Structure 1
Amino acid sequence: MAPTVFDLISLSAVSLLITLAIFKGSKINTPLRGPQSPSFIFGHYRYIQEQNDPELVYEKWAKKYGPAYQVTGPFGSKRIVICDPKANAHFYSRETNGYVQTKLAHVFIENLFGRGVLWAEADSHKRQRKTLMPAFSNAAIRRLSTVFYDAVYKMKTSWDATIDNAKAEYAVIDVQKWMNHVSLDSIGIGGFGHDFKALENKNTSVVEVFDSFDDANTDFFSRLIFFLGPVFPTLQNLPTKGNRMLRQLRETMGKIADELLKRSRRVSDEKEDSVIADKSIIGILVRSENAGTKLEMSSEEVLAQMNTLLVAGYATTSISLTVRLLNNYFVKFLIQKSFFFGGQWALIELSRAIEKQDKLRIEIAGLGGTDPTWEQLTSGLPYLNAVVHEVLRLHPPVNETTRVATEDDIIPFTSPIITSQGLPTDKLFITKGTIISSPIGYMNTSTTFWGPDAREFKPERWLEEDALCNLRAKEIQGHRHILTFSDGPRTCLGKTFALTEFKIILAVLIRHYLFELLDGPNTQIDKHPSILPRPKMRGYEGAVVPLKVRRIEGE
């Protein structure tokens, strides 16, 4: 029976009390300036979510209040935002020990994934990560590159048929749908040695679950419950779209992960099908169960890693191929240790700047009509590498990292902080329980660090040897001076996986097709709210990104 208005009010009141208790311990010792809260219930959370470019909000606040300021969270809670390279380096270096995920995040991650590497902290995180590292080594990813090529060429076959059937110069293809499926099949085969057959339009249970992401969590009440549900589990029983989706997702993931784990154990025990076992990430997990060393993972941890690979690997690949993820308080935990960023956004950016798309195509054509080798992917295609890193800089799938201090700490700053009393200081004193946020999107695109063209899509900036010499961006730690892959102990484990898959898919698509936006470079793209926020082309129903796709002459 549907809940009454009284039931909903009562549940909301209880949730409010519980949430207030959780945030009660959040303290800030150094008095900081910051923007006035627009809402007691949501603080700045909802305001930031509604922005098309949340990094611009952080930049505005940084210019007004300095490299550290406080913002208001839900129900009057406070958090500190640090916009300084030295401060961020210190913060990330102490992750899993000095700074850990909030209690709310821990509950959510455990409920959805289990106690895997995404959930773990300190020694447990170090042990699990070390066990997983062989699966993401250069040698392992080099072997997996054939999987990425197979997936993108399977997609190419379908696209060619679509263009032939269109009987025109081009076909309009929803690239988001296809990127969803190519990413799912890639993570299925590369991660588990299992073909989900998403590219063959097979309506399997896992494909149906992930495709339905677009339709869940679209109403305000679902989003509110999604926010409070991990704190007050009873709320998850309300029949909202989001709750039904999450329940189906948990059940489906559990069944899939369990089946794949049992199959891989049989393969390992019988020493059959060794090629699949050796190539897939799950092979590493299965072997870790009986490692007989301190690195051994429990069956519960192995299943948790698989759940994380299924959702995180799929989510970041498919969405980031089109558009930067919104700064959703919980969504960032779904994708924080994911594998692949940026391909769909690359297609949009290259469709806005056809001359850059042509420049990339010319470089790839210089290979003589063959696909890039591993060596060429890693060091032989400078403009492809520049495009990839520019997309990663402009469109990180996670816009910020938020943690809570486990002990008192002093964070050093390069630029002076001005306290609320107007006093300058180069150190931030915090106490145990203080919530700290690192604004990744801001650090990647701020004019303070990257110069006046920071917000422009300019791959050429990566081709100039001394491009960063006169910019403060060189002070930022992390891969190529960007924080897209995070930094410190939680640096994205799948970075090489991500870069390799990104480059392969982009190289094949640009070599064979020309992409254009339907209404030219100024085509508008809006946000489509869901469990995993998606882009949508303005004027279209649902989360679709149709592009004009022309086959390159001679193909």
Structure 2
Amino acid sequence: MNFAMQLIVSVFGTVLTYGLYVVFRLLYSQYTSTFRIVPGPPPSSWWTGNFNEILATENTIFYKKWTDEYGPTIRFRLFFNISRLYTADTKALNHILLHDSVYHKPAIMRWSLGRISGPGLFYVQDHKHKIQRKIMNPAFSPGQLREFTQTFLAKASELRDIWASQINEGETQVDALSWLSKTTLDIIGLSGFNYDFHALSPDGDANELHHAFSTGFQVATRLNIWTIVQGVFSITRLIPSPGSAALRRARNTMRHIGEQLLHESKAYLKATGEKAETWRARDLLSLLVRSNMSTDLQDNQRMSDADVIAQVPTFLVAGHDTTSVGTTWALYALTQHKSVQNKLREELLSVPTENPTAEDLNSLPYLDAVVRETLRVHSPAPETARVAVKDDVLPLNIPFTDRSGVVHHEIRIKKGQHFLLAISGVNMSKKLWGEDAMEFRPERWLEPLPEAVSSIPGVWGHMMTFFGGSHGCIGYRFALLEMKALLFILVRAFQMDLAVPGEQIISRTAVVQRPHVRDEIEAGGQLPVLIKPCSRA
């Protein structure tokens, strides 16, 4: 047998042995899983479990059907019938959020996020996460966010003027999602690191960083069988895949520009000093650099340059996509509830200025209620995942009864078991919010809330939209103020109607839930809206 044949046989044998080991490990973990006693839907297939049902319903089957049948904590199955746990139980969620050293982001989730962001706040865990979070917190304080209000309003006004210029014969159709995505990209560029993407400009796509981020984000969030395999089996990431070269070029561009931005921020800090009265740079990156260079920090408490640079794509992912999608869903809801749109416009037009302060925006009760209700009903992220890295015991607020009739108030957790943590499932729970939980009704926020929602462990608004615990969204105040500024400008200026029947709008999830037109799925995320000037009379 020649050398080439020996090599082929050796490689084939190694792959076969490893494959058999993986299959055996999966079967053994399934046989010994402590999730076996938890009630849940029967699998529709041994090969795919409940995956096809979940895919067909965009995960809404969890909180629209299964939790009603089986309770807030259920077992479901994925490929090869492997068990996973879904929970909307507030006691269980609180326990998981408080014990972040036990429950980590799964490897596939961290790998997917890390492909675009590097070792940023989304990616790191444990001690490194605490260091990054501590250094970044001052940049997201309420006082600092006031500095961004005029940027929010200026870019919202630029979008308003572009839309107004396109109106012919009284109205025009716009893709709200696309335009809001460009607007929020401009906003996070200026507010995040004093970088102007000019995304709202006709030649915005030619911007180097804009192109790199768009390309990298599309590749990194593309979901197919091969990316799932790469996420699960790290050795397969050595094999080039479609888009990997483009992603590498995009990351190199973002790193190069990030290094320039970091150099400029450091140079400015050294030239002006650390004292507040001399510090004039207010973008998030500059504030982060200032915090990281503070003499109050010990060397082992500082972020490396690579960690700081990684926050640039992190800011872009967090500050661009989620806010544009959230605001788009707000416009969708307003087109479907014209009385809400009219009532909101009446409140906004009562403000005697085109340039309100952050305090002005936050003092408008109905605007606040509309934003809250949008983020409750249309949470950008419907679920998130965790994996146990240690054995544990998960307490339950609502016990379950197994097939033998035994009532369980807790679940024994084994290292390596995976969880899907409900966000929309909590936000839309009838047991927590009442029978009208599935309805878009901003007035609920102007009334006393149900007592049950006080048990929800979210970081904001008795909701899970911005998650909770040490991994709760650090920029939620930024997102809320930005949404309010965008709605303030747009709703004052335009009357809005959906350009297609309401039942044509469905959601599809790729990192976040985007609206799609049912008959135009191949066109990607969009929200076609008819706008016409608002008569202030």
Same fold (TM over 0.5): yes
Task: Tell me by how many angstroms 1:429 deviates.
Answer: 1.9
The alignment status of 1:309 with 2:315, answered yes or no, reads yes
CA RMSD of aligned residues (A): 3.2
**Percentage of identical aligned residues:** 30
- Match of residue 32 from structure 1: 38
C-alpha offsets along residues 134-188 of structure 1, whole Å, 9 cap, x if unaligned?
A: 000001101111111111112122122112xx2x111111111111110101110
Deviations along 1:415-454, one digit per CA (max 9) or x if unpaired, are: 2211242211222222222222211111111222222211
CA shift in 2, pair 1:215/1:110, >3 Å: closer
Structure 1 residue 252 displacement after superposition: 3.3
Q: 1:206 aligns with which of 205, 209, 224?
A: 209
- CA deviation map 1:383-412 (0-9, x unaligned): 101000001101111111211122222222
- Asked if the contact 1:514–1:549 (Cα under 8 Å) also holds between the matched residues in 2, the reply is yes
TM-score w.r.t. length of structure 1: 0.83
CA contact (8 A) 1:288 1:296 kept: no
> 1:255 aligned to 2:256?
yes
Taking structure 1 as reference, are residues 55 and 275 closer, same or farther at Cα in structure 2, changes over 3 Å only? Answer: farther
* Separation (CA, whole Å) in 1 of partners of 2:314 and 2:21: 28
Aligned residue type for 2:469: G
**Unpaired stretches in structure 2, ≥5 consecutive residues:** 1-11
Q: Which residue of 2 aligns with 1:412?
A: 395
Matched, 1:363 2:347: yes
Alignment map for 1:62-461 (pairs within 5 Å):
62-95=67-100, 97-163=101-167, 166=168, 168-201=169-202, 202=204, 203-211=206-214, 223-230=224-231, 231-232=233-234, 234=236, 237-238=239-240, 240=242, 243=244, 246-271=247-272, 278-292=281-295, 293-294=297-298, 295-318=301-324, 320=325, 342-378=326-362, 380-461=363-444
Give the conservation status (yes or no) of the 8 Å contact 1:225–1:236. Answer: no
Gaps of 5+ in 1: 1-8, 321-341
Residue 269 of structure 1 and its aligned partner are, at CA, apart by: 3.2
Post-superposition offset of 1:237? 4.8
**CA apart distance, 1:276:** 9.1
Residues 302 and 218 (structure 1 numbering): CA distance in 2 closer, same or farther, change over 3 Å? closer
Change (3 A) 1:532 1:386: closer
Distance 1:444 1:225 in 2: 33
SS at match of 2:34: coil
- Give the secondary structure class of the aligned counterpart of 1:480: coil
- Secondary structure of the 1:467 match is coil
Q: What whole-Å deviation, never above 9, does each CA across 1:445-502 have from its counterpart, x for those lacking one?
A: 12222222111110011111x2324xx3333222222100111111110011011101
Deviation at 1:78, TM superposition (A): 2.1
Match in the other structure for 2:55: 49
What is the TM-score with the length of structure 2 in the denominator? 0.86
Structure 2 CA distance for aligned equivalents of residues 251 and 82 of structure 1: 39
Q: Within 2, Cα distance between the matches of 1:450 and 1:82?
A: 17
The one of 483, 508, 516 equivalent to 2:497 is 516
Distance 2:142 2:317 in 1: 23
Cα pair 1:264 1:277 within 8 Å, conserved: no
Question: How many correspondences in the alignment?
Answer: 512
Deviation at 1:193, TM superposition (A): 0.8
Kindly state the Cα deviation for residue 518 of structure 1 after the two structures are TM-superposed: 1.3
Aligned residue type for 1:489? S
* Structure 1 residue 107, shift from structure 2 partner: 3.0
Determine the C-alpha separation between the residues in 1 that align with 2:54 and 2:263: 43
Q: CA deviation at 1:25?
A: 5.9
Query: Could you tell me which amino acid in structure 2 is paired with residue 468 of structure 1?
Result: P
CA distance, structure 1, for counterparts of residue 163 and residue 54 of structure 2: 38
Please report how far the alpha carbon of residue 538 of structure 1 lies from its aligned counterpart in structure 2 after TM superposition. Answer: 4.1
2:266 alignment partner, SS class: helix
Instruction: Summarize the Cα distance change of 1:11–1:353 in structure 2 as closer, same or farther, 3 Å threshold.
Output: farther
Larger radius of gyration: 2
Q: Distance between the aligned counterparts of 2:389 and 2:149, measured in 1?
A: 40
Provide the rounded CA distance (Å) in 2 between the counterparts of 1:298 and 1:412: 38
What SS is found at the alignment partner of 1:227? helix
Contact 2:116 2:220 in 1 (8 A): no
Equivalent position of 1:329 in the other structure: none
Taking the aligned partners of 1:19 and 1:149, their CA distance within structure 2 comes to 54
Further displaced range: 285-294 or 450-459? 285-294
Shift of 1:20: 5.4
SS at match of 1:278: coil
In the TM superposition, what is the alpha-carbon distance from 1:504 to its structure 2 partner? Answer: 0.7
